[in-house]
Amino acid sequence: MEREKHYNIFSAHLKRHFGVRVHKISVDGGFSCPNRGSTRSRQGCVFCDPGGSGAVGIDRESPVSEQIERGKRVMIRKYKAERFLAYFQPFSNTYAPVERLRRLYDEALGVEGVVGLAVGTRPDCLPPEVCDLLYEYHRRTYFWLELGLQSTHDATLKRLRRGHDYEEFLRAHESARDRGLRVCVHVVLGLPGEGQREMMETADEMARLRVDGIKIHLLHVLKGTPLGDLFEKDGFKILEQEEYVGLAADFLERLHPETLIHRLTGDGPRDLLLAPLWSLKKWEVLNAIDDELERRGTHQGSGYSVRGQNCDPAIPR
């Protein structure tokens, strides 16, 4: 029997919403991003590997529909999944003309068993015509926009070579929410130059915005990235597991209680991962976060109203 969670886990929301087990299938639509250029030839953000962050196990040479069919077989075998979300994950999946976006999104939705879409992108890849297109999909299917932020601190974003600042994120988030889109924000704990104070300030901002969903990542250092090159040459401090568990618990306590937690850790590609190697034990980390919240007697949102926030229920989405 699965243990009770101390946070608002996304998978439970999907089960309530659809009534069956639903899993994401990551697909590569052949996109790039502003930091890479149209051919993906530039290095991009300092932490992003050449295949795009999170692009593990994706056959990028196959059409989207074939990628999904292959992913379905894996999800059915491993997790007994019954329905699927097509997740356009690597790089910036709104960085193309509207006509191309529509063709690829429609191809994904045309696969049997696909009940919705998740589209990952950057704050600087959401012009009005793209936001209008995403609103169309929000109206016709179950839809999430996943928006990479990493940190609310401009100095950190500059070190990461993100190519945008926090104000640009706020404009993109507002534009999406004005259209009623569900938005999942990605943040990273353990970034160079950030300590407890900076990370908790990011948590407080996510609470202030009452984001619909959030992915909390730990910093992975991967081979073939500028960050990996720096780590191999000079080294720098990487969070230990106990530190990360404490920070993740602190972060959860400060969030709005109805924000959906899409991710609480990560497991980078084993063949590329330089550090932290403890992150490969994903379930051990997740269980440790639950244990820490239980030890404290706290849960997601338990510190939200204490900081003067209004803890009335979020608008249903």
146-to-91, 185, 187, 190, 238 alpha-carbon distances in Å: 11, 6, 11, 21, 26
HEC string of the chain? CCCCCCCCEHHHHHHHHHCCCEEEEEECCCCCECCCECCCCCCCCCCCCCCCCCCCCCCCCCCHHHHHHHHHHHHHHHHCCCEEEEEECCCCCCCCCHHHHHHHHHHHHCCCCEEEEEEEECHHHCCHHHHHHHHHHHHHCEEEEEEEEECCCHHHHHHCCCCCCHHHHHHHHHHHHHCCCEEEEEEEECCCCCCHHHHHHHHHHHHHHCCCEEEEEECCEECCCHHHHHHHHCCCCCCCHHHHHHHHHHHHHHCCCCCEEEECCCCCCCCCEEECHHHHCHHHHHHHHHHHHHHHCCCCCCCCHHHCCCCCCCCCC
**What is the pLDDT at residue 35?**
81
The one-digit pLDDT tens for each residue of the chain (317 residues) are 456 789 999 999 999 999 999 999 999 999 998 887 666 556 678 888 766 555 555 777 899 999 999 999 999 999 999 999 999 999 999 999 999 999 999 999 999 999 999 999 999 999 999 999 999 999 999 999 999 999 999 999 999 999 999 999 999 999 999 999 999 999 999 999 999 999 999 999 999 999 999 999 999 999 989 999 999 998 889 999 999 999 999 999 999 999 999 999 987 889 999 999 999 999 999 999 999 999 999 999 999 965 545 544 443 33
What is the CATH code for 10-295? 3.20.20.70
- pTM for the model stands at 0.93
**What is the pLDDT at residue 133?**
98
- Which of 27, 52, 118, 120 lies closest to 269, judged by CA? 52
**What is the pLDDT at residue 267?**
79
**What is the pLDDT at residue 44?**
76
In the structure encoding, which two tokens stand for residue 311, read together? 């803890």
Domains in the chain: boundaries: 10-295
